[in-house]
Amino acid sequence: MYAYRTLRVEIPWRLVEERPDVLDLVTRMRLAAEEYVRRLLKEVTGQEESGLTAEELDRLLTPDRRELAVKIIEEVFPKYDLKKYFVNQGKVFWRDVVFHRAVPLDAQLRIENERDVGRAVFVDLRSEVLKVRRLNETFVVRLRRNDIAWIRERLEEGAKLKLAFLGVERRRGREPTYGKLYIALVFARETAPVEPKAVVAVDVNRLDHGIMVGLLVDGKIVRRMRLLDEGAVRELRRLHEEISRLDERAAREADPARKRRLEDRARHLASKRFRKMRDVVIRIAGEIIKLAREHQAVIVLDTMEDESYRELKEGDGSGVRKHFLDGLGQLRRRLQTLAEWYGLPYLEERLYSTICPRCGAKMEGLSNRRMHCPSCGFSDHRDNVPLIWAKKRYWELLQKQPAFSATILLLTS
């Protein structure tokens, strides 16, 4: 089985300004990919807006659709003035284009003195640069020290650079605009699934309350920890309040120049909030994966039902909760990607916090987040209840087959 991880290398604005042809090409690639996907999915599903999940796409894009896909690519790509190389790559990777809304490029990684074979993306670890070809002129990005360290870690784990994408961030708004450019490097590694000897149960109800993690060995809870970065949560709340204030002021502002300044400031803080959230998620996921690797554990994530998730997300006027919930979505994707990367089984199961693990009755909440069962008298802290459920289901969880996972979470690094 293959597992994938992606490194996203941002292209500095200065370079983009010097080379408008790059932004132009990447935007055309994106638009071509979007039109191709729209047309292909309409032909396959008969619907205009499909909103399909990655798993559903994976099932739909069977090999017999290839001919249709190739025909659409041949019609659509030249309309956006994409050269032969991109059309050919699109045809070879016709499924991947659907998942990523981008055209995969072939890539080479030079570690020592290997010969440069002229691929579209050339990553040279020795001179610490990344070159993108197949443009009017070659485009060179200097690799940051963190990027190089990340690549070396993947190489030590036996991974290889498979392919690359040129991506452009799409900004939401009345008229979609295109912003930051990046190069995504996709690494692949063959993994052998680990035979689990323990369970790591993860309760993800609220990112701002902390993530409860329990380690279970031989059917017993041997460790519990709450992963919470209070400083980061405070900072996220503060950023959120400031962004809301700026948005309100911008909405009231009549002077166009001042309005734009307020909006720019809000956008700047929003990307800061995004990075902060990502850092929190990376740290928490890192600790969970470390624990699971040390004990060869299956990772069991308590999933909220989609309905209650939606209710929570929509029911909050201030919106701050929405961002913590988005953070949970990121955490879930990251845990799944990393679990696959290390061959750890990953499950999503309901581990209830309001249903009595002793008798199955609905429990009531007392003060201090304690839960009490009116039917059998069981009582415990709300955070412990999901771990007790994991303990109750320990042997079953250990033997359960991991959920279906396609190789489609590529862009979640």
Work out the angle at residue 325's Cα, subtended by the Cα atoms of residues 397 and 348, and round it to the nearest 5 degrees: 15
Check if the beta carbon of residue 78 is closer than 8 Å to that of residue 28: no
Q: Which is nearer to Zn ion, 159 or 356 (CB)?
A: 356
Tell me the two tokens of residue 365: 């909440």
Q: How far is the CB of 222 from Zn ion (least distance, A)?
A: 24
Q: Which is nearer to Zn ion, 246 or 356 (CB)?
A: 356
Q: How far is the CB of 249 from Zn ion (least distance, A)?
A: 52
Q: Which is nearer to Zn ion, 120 or 385 (CB)?
A: 385
Residues binding Zn ion (CB under 5 A)? 356, 358-359, 361, 373, 375-376, 378
Q: How far is the CB of 390 from Zn ion (least distance, A)?
A: 17
Q: How far is the CB of 389 from Zn ion (least distance, A)?
A: 12
Q: How far is the CB of 305 from Zn ion (least distance, A)?
A: 21
Q: Which is nearer to Zn ion, 1 or 361 (CB)?
A: 361
Q: Which is nearer to Zn ion, 149 or 359 (CB)?
A: 359
Q: Which is nearer to Zn ion, 118 or 374 (CB)?
A: 374
Q: How far is the CB of 359 from Zn ion (least distance, A)?
A: 3
Q: How far is the CB of 364 from Zn ion (least distance, A)?
A: 11
Distance CA(349)–CA(338), nearest Å, equals 18
Q: How far is the CB of 365 from Zn ion (least distance, A)?
A: 14
Q: Which is nearer to Zn ion, 11 or 390 (CB)?
A: 390
Tell me the two tokens of residue 384: 């412990």
Question: How many CA atoms lie less than 13 Å away from 8 in the CB half-sphere?
Answer: 11
Q: How far is the CB of 385 from Zn ion (least distance, A)?
A: 11
Q: Which is nearer to Zn ion, 269 or 355 (CB)?
A: 355
Q: Which is nearer to Zn ion, 261 or 358 (CB)?
A: 358
3-state secondary structure the chain: CEEEEEEEEECCHHHHHHCHHHHHHHHHHHHHHHHHHHHHHHHHHCCCCCCCCHHHHHHHCCHHHHHHHHHHHHHHHHHCCCCHHHHHHHHHCHHHHHHHCCCEEEEEEECCCCCCCCCCEEEECCCCEEEECCCCCCEEEECCHHHHHHHHHHHHCCCEEEEEEEEEEEECCCCCEEEEEEEEEEEEEECCCCCCCEEEEEECCCHHHCEEEEEEECCEEEEEEEECCHHHHHHHHHHHHHHHHHHHHHHHCCCHHHHHHHHHHHHHHHHHHHHHHHHHHHHHHHHHHHHHHHCCEEEEEECCCHHHHHHHHHCCCCCHHHHHHHHHHHHHHHHHHHHHHCCCCEEEECCCCCECCCCCCECEECHHHEEECCCCCCEEECCCHHHHHHHHCHHHHHHCCCCCCCCCCHHHC
